[in-house]
Structure 1
Amino acid sequence: MTFASSDPSENDSEPFVESDPTGRYGRYDELLGSGSVKKVYRAFDQEEGIEVAWNQVKLRCFVDDPAMIERLFSEVRLLKSLNNGNIIKLYKVWRDEKNSILNFITEICTSGNLREYRKKHRHVSMRALKKWSKQILRGLVYLHTHKPCIIHRDLNCSNVFVNGNIGQVKIGDLGLAAIVGDNHIAHSVLGTPEFMAPEFYNENYTETVDIYAYGLCVLELVSLEIPYSECDSIPKIVKRVSSGIKPEALDKVRDGEAKTFIMKCIGNPMARPSAAELLRDPFFDGIDDDDEQE
C-alpha cells in the first residue's frame, strides 16, 4: 500500500513541467531566454543536485528548411565534443519525435549574457573588463587549436554568458560554427552583421573572423555601445564594413591601450594576431591566469 507523504515541505517544492526520458532532468516553467531558433528554460539535474539550462527547439518550425535542422544538430554534436572552462558544457541531448522537439541540457550561467550583464553593471573597472576579455580569448584559443579547427562565426556579447558571482564568462551558441580542415578556410556568409569581418563577404575566410568579432566585443564592453549602432539598416552596416569604415564607437574609447588592442583585432586579416598571440599582449599585463575561473 502506498501512502501520501505527510511532509508539508513537499507542498512548497517547485513542480517540474516535464522531465527527460530518464527522469534525471526536470524542467521548470521559468524561461531564461528566447531567440529566433530556441527557448531556454531553467531546469534541475536531480542526480548532481545542480541547476541546468534546458534548451528546446521546435523542429516543425524548420520542416521546409532541412539545412537549419542540420545546423542545429551540428551545434549539439559540436558542443558534446568540447571540454573547456570557457565554453558552455553540454550534458545530454535527445529528440522528442512525438512533438518534433530537439532538447538538450547545458550548464547554466546564472547571470545571463554578457551584453545584458554589462548594461546592468555600467560602473566596471578596466581590470574587470580585461578579465572577461581574457576568458573569451581562452575559449577562442581552445576552438581555434581544436583538431579540426572550429570557427565560431557568430561571436558577440549576446553569445557570451556570465556567472557573475565568480566573474566567469563562457562562449556559447555555437549554432553557426564551422569545422574546417587543415587550410582553416570557410566559405559561407553567416553571422551577426555588426560583428562580421569584411572578408566574410568575399566568402573566403579563416578563424581570424572570430578575432575581428572579438575585437568588437571588447569595443562594446569598453564603450557600452553595440558597434555600428549609428546605422539604421543592415545594408548600411554591410556597406560600411565592406568599405573598411570603423564603427563610430571606437572614437568614444578614451583608454589608449584598449583602443590599440581593439585596432589590432579589427585590422587587416593578414595582420590580425591569433587568439594565442593576443593572450600574450601587453593589454593583459597584470591579469594573471589564477584570476581566471575554470
Structure 2
Amino acid sequence: MDEADIVDKDPTGRYIRYGDVLGRGAFKTVYKAFDQVQGIEVAWNLTSIEDVLQMPGQLERLYSEVHLLKALKHDNIIKLFYSWVDDHNKTINMITELFTSGSLRVYRMKHRKVDPKAINNWARQILKGLHYLHSHTPPVIHRDLKCDNIFVNGNTGEVKIGDLGLAAVLQQPIARSVIGTPEFMAPELYEEEYNELVDIYSFGMCMLEMVTCEYPYSECRNPAQIYKKVTSGIKPQSLAKVDDPQVKQFIEKCLLPAPCRPTALELLKEQLLAVDGAKDSGLTASSNTTFNPTKPPQSEPRPMDVDHKENTSVSICSSGKSSHEYTWLQTIEIQRVAENTQFRLSGERRDDVTASMALHIADLSGEARKVDFDFYLKTDTARAVTGEMVEELDLSSQEVIVISELIDELIMKLKANEEAGDSMKSDISVEYYYPVVSSNEAEESLLASFLDSCSMVSNERSEDLKTELNVIESQYNQSFQHLVRLREEAIDKAKRKWATLPNAHKLL
C-alpha cells in the first residue's frame, strides 16, 4: 500500500492504520494496521468514547480489558502492544496481535473436518492460558470464555484467549456478580458465589462446541430455558452426539459441580491431552505471582494511563463501577491550584476495598498530564501511591505533597459519602432506591406480580416466563439485601466516627 492508503498514525508514528476493516462489534471496529518497527501487520482496535458511553458499564469493561492485557504476558493470551486515548477524535485505541483467521468458532465452522489431535492441541493451549490466569495471586477469572473469544492463527495452529473485558481479579475467595454468556455460564455463577473454576465449566462447553460444531443448548429458545436446565443439572443435547467415550468423559469432568471440578492444571495432565515424548514446560509460569493489573511494573510504559497531550476536552477517568454494587455512589471531584498548576482529582468507590481515581494536572502552557489508578483502601497510602507516579509524571517534590493531600481528602469524602448513605436518598435515582419492607411483604408483592404476568401469556409459554421471573426475583432480592446491609454498615460507621469527636455525647 502507498502513502495515500494510510488513514491514521498513532502518537509515536510507529503504527499506521489502513482503511481495511477486519471486523466490527457493537462498539469496536478493528482495522488492519502495520508496525513499522517490527515490520509486521497488527490489529488496530478503535472504539468511540461517545458510543461506549451510551451503554452503562461498557466503558469500564473496555478499560478493564486494557489494564489486564497490559499486565498479562503469556503465549496463549492475546498481546496488547500499545494503547492510548485520542482526546481530539474522542476514541480509545488499542494495537493488538492480528488474527486473520478470526475466532475459534468461525474457524471451526469453516473447517468442519478436523482430526481429534488438532482439537486436543487447541484444548491444551486454552488450558495453558487459563492456568496462567488462575495461577496469579489473586487469580484472574475470565468469566466469559467461549469460542467467540478465543482466536486462532490458521497458519500455525496457535490459539489465544482474548476479550478479557469481563474478567475479574478475584480479591476474595468467592466472587460475586452475575455476568457472562448463558450457554457457557456455570450454575454457581447464577448464585453469585463462585471462583476461577467457572472458567473450567466454560472451557468444557468450548470443548463440546469444538467437537460437535454445535452451540451448547441450541435446543433452548431463550435464556430462561437455559437457566432452568443449567441450574437443574441438565446437560446440552449436543453432549449425546459426542461419540468418543474418552472425550465425552473429559467434557463431563469440566461440567461437574464446582467442588468436584478439576483445575486447568489437572485437566492438562489428563491422558486425552497427553503429548507423546513432550515435556510441558509452560505450566509453571507465575504460580506465585502477585497480580495487580492496575499497577504494572514501573519499567513498562503506560501510555493508556498517562497522557501528555495538550487537548484535554475528553476524559474517560470517571468510569469505575464494578458489578452492580455501587451504582448509587456518585463520582466526587476536588481541585486545587498550586504554583500556577491546576490539580484535579476525581474518584468513586468500585467495591468494598477499591476506589477508582483519575488525576489531571494542567499548567499555564496548556500541557496536561493524566493518570488513572486504583486505590486499595485497606493497604494503600496516599504517599505510597503518589510515589509510584513520580517517575512517570515527572513530579516535583511540591507536586507530590499536593497530590498526596488531594488523595487523602478524596478518600475522606468517599468514606463520608458512604457513611452518610441514609442522607443521600435525595441524590439517588428512583430506580435504585427501594423502600424497606419485610421479606414476607416483598415475596407476596413479587408473587402477585408473577401471577398477573403469567396470566397474560399462554399456558405453553407460562413456564418460561415464570422461570425468567424467578431469575429477576433472585437478582432483586440479592441487590436489595446488599443495599440494606450497606445502609446498616454506613450508619454504624457514622456513629463510631462521630463518637470519637469532642462533645460527641451532645451530637448523639
Is 206-215 or 237-246 further displaced after alignment?
237-246
Per-residue displacement from partner, 1:57-99 (whole Å, max 9, x unpaired)?
1111233556321221111011000110000000111011122
Q: How many residues align?
A: 282
SS at match of 2:58: helix
Contact 1:131 1:292 in 2 (8 A): no
Q: So what's the TM-score if we normalise by structure 2?
A: 0.53
Per-residue displacement from partner, 1:267-291 (whole Å, max 9, x unpaired)?
1111000001110011112366579
SS at match of 2:261: coil
- CA-CA distance at 1:147 after TM superposition: 2.5
- CA-CA distance at 1:186 after TM superposition: 1.2
Is 93-102 or 31-40 further displaced after alignment?
31-40
> Which letter does structure 2 place at the counterpart of 1:79?
L
SS at match of 1:53: strand
The aligned counterpart of 2:503 is none
SS at match of 2:23: strand
Contact 2:42 2:95 in 1 (8 A): yes
- CA-CA distance at 1:13 after TM superposition: 6.6
The aligned counterpart of 2:180 is 191
Identity of aligned residues (%): 54
The aligned counterpart of 1:6 is none
CA distance in 1, matches of 2:277, 2:21: 36
Provide the aligned C-alpha RMSD in A. Answer: 1.9
CA distance in 2, matches of 1:196, 1:16: 42
The aligned counterpart of 2:264 is 275
Contact 1:131 1:287 in 2 (8 A): no
The aligned counterpart of 2:441 is none
Contact 1:208 1:272 in 2 (8 A): yes
Which of 132, 148, 152 is the aligned partner of 1:162?
152
SS at match of 2:13: coil
Per-residue displacement from partner, 1:220-269 (whole Å, max 9, x unpaired)?
00011010011121221122112211000101000111000000001111
Which of 51, 60, 64 is the aligned partner of 2:50?
60
Contact 1:144 1:207 in 2 (8 A): yes
Which of 92, 112, 133 is the aligned partner of 1:122?
112
The aligned counterpart of 1:212 is 201
- CA-CA distance at 1:34 after TM superposition: 1.8
Which of 245, 264, 282 is the aligned partner of 1:256?
245
CA distance in 2, matches of 1:91, 1:249: 39
Which of 153, 159, 163 is the aligned partner of 1:173?
163
Task: Call closer, same or farther: CA 1:72–1:213 in 2, change over 3 Å.
Answer: same
Larger Rg: 2
Residues 1:139 and 2:147 aligned together: no
Contact 1:168 1:292 in 2 (8 A): no
Consecutive unaligned residues of structure 2, counting only runs of 5 or more, are: 283-508
CA distance in 2, matches of 1:108, 1:130: 23
The aligned counterpart of 1:232 is 221
CA distance in 1, matches of 2:187, 2:144: 14
Task: Report 1 or 2 for greater relative contact order, CA contacts < 8 Å, sequence distance ≥ 6.
Answer: 1
Residues 1:77 and 2:67 aligned together: yes
Which of 10, 34, 50 is the aligned partner of 2:24?
34
CA distance in 2, matches of 1:136, 1:210: 11
> Which letter does structure 2 place at the counterpart of 1:258?
V
Contact 1:130 1:287 in 2 (8 A): no
CA distance in 1, matches of 2:105, 2:240: 20
Task: Call closer, same or farther: CA 1:209–1:14 in 2, change over 3 Å.
Answer: farther
Contact 1:149 1:180 in 2 (8 A): yes
